[in-house]
Homo-oligomer: A and B are copies of this chain.
Amino acid sequence: MQNSLDSGLSLALRKMERRTPLRPEARKAFMSLHVHRRTFDTQREMVREGDSNGHCLFLESGVVSMSKMLPNGGRQIVAFHVAGDLLGLGSALLLIADHSLRAHVPTAVLSIDDGDILRLAEDYPDIGRAFWFETLVDASIFREWNLNIGRRGARERLAHLVLEIGYKSEAAGLDQKENFACPITQADLADALGLTPVHVNRCMQWLRTEGFLETCGRRIVIPDWGALADFASFRPLYMHPEGPRVLTAERSIRSHA
């Protein structure tokens, strides 16, 4: 069993190291994390708003959304995650989950104890920095969603989300960004965009008739990436693919005391 779990962790490590190279000791410590695999069916809630935290989740395969609810029943999806993502890094330090996590397809996660994550970040500063960076990127994506929901028209808004999902799928090594699986229903897209399912459907049709995209089954094809990116003013900088600042070699100058 430990072997198959290892292979899952190494995916997380590979993804993290694409941005932040780690020192060998840190890599070894990461790989020796004690993990527990769990699987979830489609539409299954993995974490519920208000739960007390306890575990970080590494998404091995599948698609997961993070959402918040209103007392009147309104739901807002605030993020989508694909294989390779670290979910709920927040739970390492935040005591109570302020959001829910839901699987959109059959999904496998590796569950890691919060305390282990925290100790890892404390003992290995480069891992701590990598976690902090991931959190900063998440925050930046949330800001872009604010802009998207607050200030773009419905068609641009939908287009922007579709481009983001394609971009992330390619970055995760799952698909090409111009042709990718998108197993998210229009109702869920609506919840992510602050729109109604009916209106998402009409916007989707409009994007198709304009030739901006094609759908076949649960797959999306974007014939001219540049044209759609231009239409939606999509610039992937907000996902910070350039990676974090690297600390310069001169670590000696320590203090000003």
Given contacts A94-B240, A129-B121, A149-B150, contact A143 B194 (CB under 8 A): no
Q: Is the CB of A193 within 8 A of B150?
A: yes
Number of interface residues of A (CB under 8 A): 70
Q: Is the CB of A121 within 8 A of B132?
A: yes
Q: Which residues of B contact A68 (CB under 8 A)?
A: 143-144, 146-147
Closest chain-B Cβ to A47's Cβ sits at a distance in Å of: 14
Q: Which residues of B contact A121 (CB under 8 A)?
A: 125, 128-129, 132
How many copies of this chain?
Answer: 2
Q: Which residues of B contact A10 (CB under 8 A)?
A: none
Q: Which residues of B contact A90 (CB under 8 A)?
A: 136, 139-140
Q: Is the CB of B118 within 8 A of A78?
A: no
Q: Find A257's partner among B29, B143, B257 (CB 8 Å cutoff).
A: B29
Given contacts A94-B245, A114-B245, A132-B121, contact A194 B140 (CB under 8 A): no
| Binding stretch for chain B, among A36-44, A95-103, A176-184, A209-217 | A95-103
Q: Is the CB of A131 within 8 A of B132?
A: yes
In the assembly, what is the distance between CA of A29 and CA of B254, in Å?
9
Q: Is the CB of A149 within 8 A of B146?
A: yes
Given contacts A90-B140, A94-B245, A133-B93, contact A254 B146 (CB under 8 A): no
In the assembly, what is the distance between CA of A183 and CA of B75, in Å?
32
Q: Find A136's partner among B94, B118, B257 (CB 8 Å cutoff).
A: B94
| A7 touches B (CB below 8 Å) | no
Q: Is the CB of B70 within 8 A of A151?
A: yes
| A76 touches B (CB below 8 Å) | yes
Q: Is the CB of B247 within 8 A of A122?
A: yes
In the assembly, what is the distance between CA of A118 and CA of B72, in Å?
43
Q: Which of A90, A92, A244 has the most CB of B within 10 A?
A: A90
Chain A to chain B contacts (Cβ below 8 Å), 8 pairs: A76-B150, A89-B136, A96-B237, A96-B242, A114-B245, A121-B128, A128-B129, A146-B149
